[in-house]
Structure 1
């Protein structure tokens, strides 16, 4: 009898030990939602202005807000600046909510000379261009170790870009990738938005853009750990990756969504030219305007989505 009592007590102890783990695995919300991710507070605030049925949740100190936006069930959250923050918060959302697709809203630096501050870029694909080898300097130039596979991209001095190994949901083996694709259906919706949506040209302080802003759907975007304000490096990025835009989060989110098998699209409004403009960087002048335009595009995009 005493042995039975001890076993029963042990069973209760084990249940108590495992109960928190089971609770931690439960989702915060069971409704299917589109995740709308912002890098900076301005677009996050702009998106919340039209949100209904609002409810707040918290994961690791980060706020996640559910509700309805443009007729769609959504979960809004800030990624935080940086590739690591963006990857971490996106995976948290995928783990804790039933996410059907991920749309990123944010500002960026333009690297294509054909684009201007205020233009909005929705790229076909995203690459992590600062995943790299810092190469050894030799008499004949910079060389990466012989045991590392060479990628197709030219280096910038000692910085030699390379692809990353990817494990994917449903995949048998790890694959090596540089480009992460945007979802074709979401790109189609973006083209419909681009054909009919007008963007703002002036900020609240009456700082106006030199050219009316436009929405560009297609081309390449790249992301990395550095804020870029260098004309020479900007030129390298444009020529090497045929890139239109660079930022510090989109490719990380594209990587996470690809691994999880979730559709992805990034909407990036140009707040500056990554060092390509005359004089000082203009991000501080046009960040609010770029953020507002990005939020407008995202709301129109949500309305177009099935």
Structure 2
């Protein structure tokens, strides 16, 4: 996967126009289509026509037309800080009217399975937290109750995020919403997309995958392959999926007043897999399923 990421980035950068230190690169109103790493974005980039590439701050941005809509595609990079940085850079450099994230995730809702595509209605940062002091053996002293937003996982007490809006107003919040109008479009296309059930090597899912719109997603800077933490995320946050970028992008979108939605296809079950983690087998199938839903979604946008 790392080699694929390097090759994809080099391909974009080789034909790219270097950007000046600051300033808008393109003022056409566009939908930003983002993925964390190259295999997630490949199908969407291949389907985009009229491509023009730029490099700014080390990130390759590609403008073009996807399903009849002007877009700018780029890789967020893996994990929260990378995702926040690249998303803000895109908002600063392009006329982004809405943000669409496409990628894979770990499933934490027991009712979901590998290959399913989820578009949560809101996102939280499950590791925005206080790591509590052990005040006696096996017991961790909780922080003040007004800071805690969910049941703890051992010493980890989840808290709200301190944000500053573009108008200077500050607040603390737990959830970062997807845009209701974009969720409505996702609902309309959810049943119209043919999703893959088998990999190119012939490994097939036990169930036909489906698209689920709504519910909660959580993000944090860790790859999770732990059944206990998975169960906690499902219980404490009523989460359907867990990933490493979406909540960061949702926070940037909220602060900038830009509509946002994320589509995440399950490549694994975050530690609930029946045996070894399934991501090495199904990450490309999951990436392609998410991309298929995003293409249908973009086509249905006004």
Q: Under a length normalisation based on structure 2, what TM-score does the superposition of the two structures give?
A: 0.91
* 1:182 to partner: Cα distance: 0.3
Write out aligned runs for 1:180-191 (5 A): 180-191=176-187
2:139 alignment partner, one of 133, 138, 141: 141
Q: Please identify the structure whose Cα radius of gyration is greater.
A: 1
**Residues 147, 160 of structure 2: 8 Å contact kept:** no
1:275 matched to which residue of 2? 271
Between the aligned partners of 2:118 and 2:229, the Cα distance in structure 1 is 20
Answer yes or no: is 1:286 the counterpart of 2:262. Answer: no
Answer yes or no: is 1:220 the counterpart of 2:216. Answer: yes
2:64 matched to which residue of 1? 67
Number of residues paired by the alignment?
282
2:16 matched to which residue of 1? none
* 1:208 to partner: Cα distance: 0.7
* 1:278 to partner: Cα distance: 1.3
1:126 alignment partner, one of 108, 123, 126: 123
* 1:44 to partner: Cα distance: 1.2
Between the aligned partners of 2:220 and 2:122, the Cα distance in structure 1 is 14
Q: Under a length normalisation based on structure 1, what TM-score does the superposition of the two structures give?
A: 0.90
Answer yes or no: is 1:45 the counterpart of 2:56. Answer: no
List per-residue Cα deviations over 1:251-286 (Å, max 9, x = no partner). 000000000000000000000000001111010000
2:259 matched to which residue of 1? 263
* 1:62 to partner: Cα distance: 1.3
- Greater mean deviation of Cα atoms: 47-56 or 99-108: 47-56
2:207 matched to which residue of 1? 211
List per-residue Cα deviations over 1:178-227 (Å, max 9, x = no partner). 10000011000100110221211111111111100000001000000111
* 1:26 to partner: Cα distance: 2.0
Between the aligned partners of 1:41 and 1:194, the Cα distance in structure 2 is 24
Between the aligned partners of 2:154 and 2:111, the Cα distance in structure 1 is 26
Answer yes or no: is 1:240 the counterpart of 2:239. Answer: no
* 1:145 to partner: Cα distance: 4.6
3-state DSSP of counterpart to 2:54 = strand
2:227 matched to which residue of 1? 231
3-state DSSP of counterpart to 2:147 = coil
Structure 1: any 5+ residue segments left out of the alignment? 1-22
2:197 matched to which residue of 1? 201
1:249 alignment partner, one of 245, 248, 251: 245
Between the aligned partners of 1:59 and 1:300, the Cα distance in structure 2 is 29
Between the aligned partners of 1:48 and 1:166, the Cα distance in structure 2 is 33
